[in-house]
A and B are shown apart, each in its own frame.
Chain A
Amino acid sequence: MNADTENQLADGSFEFLSIFLEGLPFIFLGTLISGFLGTYLPRGAFEKILPKNRTLAVIISGFLGAIFPVCECAVVPVIRRLVKNGLPVSCALSYMLAAPIFNPITAYSTFKAFNSSTDVMFTRLGFGYLIAVIIALIAARFAINNILKSSNDQKPLHEHHHPRNLTSALQNSLRDLMDVGLYFAIGVILTAILKTAVVDPNEPFWKDLGANFAGGTIGMMILAFLLSLCSTSDAFIAANSFDHFPIGPKLAFMIFGPMVDAKLIFLYSTVFKWRFILFLTIAAFLLTGIASWIAQNHLISDSPKAPVEDLLTP
């Protein structure tokens, strides 16, 4: 093995472990919640909680991230179980796509990363929410067997009375942890390989894309997909590492990434069919592109500078 390969293997291993170690406790938290929801939440509970009107229900579900803030890794096992327990898929989608962006933690990090700019923060949260709701409303028109994997179908022919005890909840949690953890690991392996062996955001190719809006927006969405950053930290990367890009493409990076990235698609595959994941990716890509254009031309005039805190104090 030559030195380059050894370095790449060492760096890839480091990258893989850092994402896996960071993500696993959140996945565990998500699966713990999902296990207990699966056991203790009565079927049909959502019919009582959510409005009968599907559109209104989707709109409200998109706001849930503000009340139950979860990151994109933890949200997948939760919605997986909620869907099994009768939450309409469109509502689950609305929550799943909006929650990583439309939550107080992401709002604060975006605010700080863009030098206390409320414009950037509200534009990101607003478009993140809007795109999630639009995709969910479109998905509501699909037949459910075109969206969900068969194991997640909501088609029990009769009611089962499952035992509602701790062991049952933990068993659900373990099963979810194993399913989601497996796909998470696959996604992280792919991300680590892409980041250490394939993608170099400092290459002239990526830098030159910043010169025009369309290229910059597409490039930043592809980078967001490949880099698979957390929604809580991606704003800092967008603000600091891509200074040569205008604000529109930066927003595209921060909106598209938390909805679709290399590791997330494997997590989504625990719930959705691959064909639907492809639809989700294309829809998010197009809608984010439009949002980026609107933001660039009508909402935010200039990219606020990356902040520098009090640099003098040691």
Chain B
Amino acid sequence: MTSLQARLFGLIASLWGGLLVYFYHSGRIRRYLEQDFHQLILIGGIGILILGLFFVINPKDKSSTTCSHDHHHHDSEDHHQNCDHDHSDCEHDHDHQHDHCDHHHHDEGHGPLVTALLTLVPLTIAMAYTQDQYTVTGKTIAKKGLYEAPAINQTFKFTREDLEKRVPKNSLGEYQIRLITAYYAAGDKEMQPIFEGLPVELEGRIAPEKLNNEEGNRLRIFRSIISCCAADMQIIGISLDIPEDIERPKLNEWAKAGGTLDFEKINDTIYPVLRVRGFMPAEEPYSEFIKRQ
């Protein structure tokens, strides 16, 4: 690596590291990664930044006069053709100075310009276009499962008494159950009677409804489940059946929806649906993700 290459690579690394630190510091990271990974981003970002800045400031190993790089000698090419000293008899330890050799000893990897072009340009474009979440009107959110029915025969079991004992109610007596609970209830025939007709309050983000919505009186409320990053996200959603006189939240807003939980069959598949009584605004949580256990 020449001094210029080291400096340019150092600059690219600094930008990568700076990007990680920026995402952590600005809080935007909470939209991309599960909370357990946040500190890793900060530590990784600082580490890359230090590594990069080190070579921006100190591009050559001045403390050593020896080769600081791999020195594979290639059979087929004269690797030292630009050196003016004799390398033909290489039985020595190679401890002589190489700083004067301006040639590139490696033929591995790409130069800094290619690296910058293929990493910094896509990153810049991505930074310009990302909305820090999947768009609620786009196709990707549907691919992640927004309109999918829950898997059948789930293994969680509880009774109405458990519900009474452990789930808080709002001022209107509606159970403040987790959206994921209501969702999975639709996948278990034993659980359905416990939830059917139950007054509940669900909290989540609002998306348009694409199922059973010919009359246009429906929206969908959803939450996201992840293990590591948004790429492994699974989205679960529940249909909101809204009477005409109820004021609707805007798409993508966080809301609490109160009403009665019901189940409906569409093409032989059972889906949960909330018959909405009303909406209340809700604050977006620090991290909207539910972590897979």
Binding site for B on A (CB under 8 A): 3-4, 7-22, 24-26, 28-29, 32, 38, 84, 109, 112-113, 115, 149-153, 155-163, 165, 167-168, 170-175, 177-179, 181-182, 185-186, 189, 191, 195-196, 199-202, 228-230, 232-234, 236-237, 240-241, 243, 270, 305-314
Chain A nearest CB: distance from B198 CB in Å?
13
* Residue pair A229, B153 in contact (C-beta under 8 Å): no
Please report the number of residue pairs spanning A and B whose Cβ atoms sit closer than 8 angstroms: 284
The 4 closest A-B pairs by CB, nearest first: A25-B44, A151-B108, A7-B138, A233-B227
* Residue pair A185, B122 in contact (C-beta under 8 Å): yes
Give the contact stretch, choosing among B91-99, B213-221, B250-258.
Answer: B91-99
* Residue pair A230, B123 in contact (C-beta under 8 Å): no
Chain A nearest CB: distance from B106 CB in Å?
7
Chain A nearest CB: distance from B159 CB in Å?
10
Known: A7-B139, A311-B178. 7 other contacts (CB 8 A): A14-B134, A15-B140, A21-B229, A25-B43, A158-B91, A162-B68, A185-B118
Bound: A20/B23 CA distance, A: 12
* Residue pair B1, A175 in contact (C-beta under 8 Å): yes
Q: Which of B12, B37, B130 has the most CB of A within 10 A?
A: B130
Chain B residues positioned under 8 Å from A13 (CB to CB): 125-130
Chain B residues positioned under 8 Å from A156 (CB to CB): 71-73
Chain B residues positioned under 8 Å from A9 (CB to CB): 129
Write the B134-161 contact mask toward A (1 if CB under 8 angstroms, else 0): 1101111111010110011111101000
Q: Which of A10, A109, A191 has the most CB of B within 10 A?
A: A10
Bound: A177/B10 CA distance, A: 10
Task: Please tell me if B260 contacts chain A, counting CB pairs below 8 Å.
Answer: no
Closest to A161 in B: B93
Given A38-B70, A171-B69, do A241 and B142 touch, yes or no (CB 8 Å)? no
Closest to A112 in B: B293
Give the contact stretch, choosing among B46-54, B238-246, B271-279.
Answer: B46-54
Chain B nearest CB: distance from A154 CB in Å?
9
* Residue pair A171, B61 in contact (C-beta under 8 Å): yes
Task: Please tell me if B74 contacts chain A, counting CB pairs below 8 Å.
Answer: yes
* Residue pair A237, B234 in contact (C-beta under 8 Å): yes
Bound: A21/B37 CA distance, A: 10
Closest to B72 in A: A156
* Residue pair B47, A32 in contact (C-beta under 8 Å): yes
Chain B nearest CB: distance from A121 CB in Å?
16
Chain A nearest CB: distance from B152 CB in Å?
7
User: 20 interchain pairs (CB within 8 A)?
Assistant: A8-B138, A10-B129, A15-B230, A17-B130, A24-B44, A28-B48, A32-B47, A152-B108, A156-B73, A160-B93, A165-B63, A174-B52, A178-B13, A178-B109, A191-B231, A200-B142, A229-B231, A305-B151, A314-B167, A314-B178
Bound: A21/B110 CA distance, A: 22
Chain B residues positioned under 8 Å from A160 (CB to CB): 67, 70-71, 93-94
Within 8 Å by CB of B163, from A3, A22, A241, A312, lies: A312
Task: Please tell me if B25 contacts chain A, counting CB pairs below 8 Å.
Answer: no
Within 8 Å by CB of B40, from A7, A25, A234, lies: A25
Chain B residues positioned under 8 Å from A270 (CB to CB): 109
Given A16-B122, A158-B90, A175-B9, do A195 and B158 touch, yes or no (CB 8 Å)? no
Task: Please tell me if B64 contacts chain A, counting CB pairs below 8 Å.
Answer: yes
* Residue pair B48, A24 in contact (C-beta under 8 Å): yes
Given A178-B115, A240-B151, do A312 and B166 touch, yes or no (CB 8 Å)? yes
Closest to B166 in A: A312
Task: Please tell me if B78 contacts chain A, counting CB pairs below 8 Å.
Answer: no
Bound: A40/B44 CA distance, A: 22
Bound: A226/B91 CA distance, A: 50
Q: Which of B67, B122, B141 has the most CB of A within 10 A?
A: B122
Task: Please tell me if B29 contacts chain A, counting CB pairs below 8 Å.
Answer: yes
Given A168-B64, A174-B55, do A159 and B73 touch, yes or no (CB 8 Å)? no
* Residue pair B73, A158 in contact (C-beta under 8 Å): yes
* Residue pair A115, B155 in contact (C-beta under 8 Å): yes
Task: Please tell me if B212 contacts chain A, counting CB pairs below 8 Å.
Answer: no
Chain B residues positioned under 8 Å from A150 (CB to CB): 74, 107
* Residue pair B180, A10 in contact (C-beta under 8 Å): no
Chain B nearest CB: distance from A116 CB in Å?
10
Task: Please tell me if B190 contacts chain A, counting CB pairs below 8 Å.
Answer: no
* Residue pair B29, A21 in contact (C-beta under 8 Å): yes
Chain A nearest CB: distance from B30 CB in Å?
11
* Residue pair B90, A182 in contact (C-beta under 8 Å): no
Bound: A229/B233 CA distance, A: 10
Bound: A167/B55 CA distance, A: 9
Chain B residues positioned under 8 Å from A177 (CB to CB): 13, 48, 51
Q: Which of B94, B231, B292 has the most CB of A within 10 A?
A: B231
Task: Please tell me if B228 contacts chain A, counting CB pairs below 8 Å.
Answer: yes
Q: Which of A3, A195, A233 has the most CB of B within 10 A?
A: A233
Bound: A195/B230 CA distance, A: 12
Within 8 Å by CB of B67, from A12, A163, A185, A243, lies: A163
Chain A nearest CB: distance from B263 CB in Å?
17
Bound: A306/B73 CA distance, A: 55
* Residue pair A22, B33 in contact (C-beta under 8 Å): yes
Chain B residues positioned under 8 Å from A195 (CB to CB): 140, 143, 231
Chain B residues positioned under 8 Å from A112 (CB to CB): 292-293
Chain A residues positioned under 8 Å from B163 (CB to CB): 312
Chain A residues positioned under 8 Å from B167 (CB to CB): 312, 314
* Residue pair A29, B44 in contact (C-beta under 8 Å): yes
* Residue pair A202, B145 in contact (C-beta under 8 Å): yes
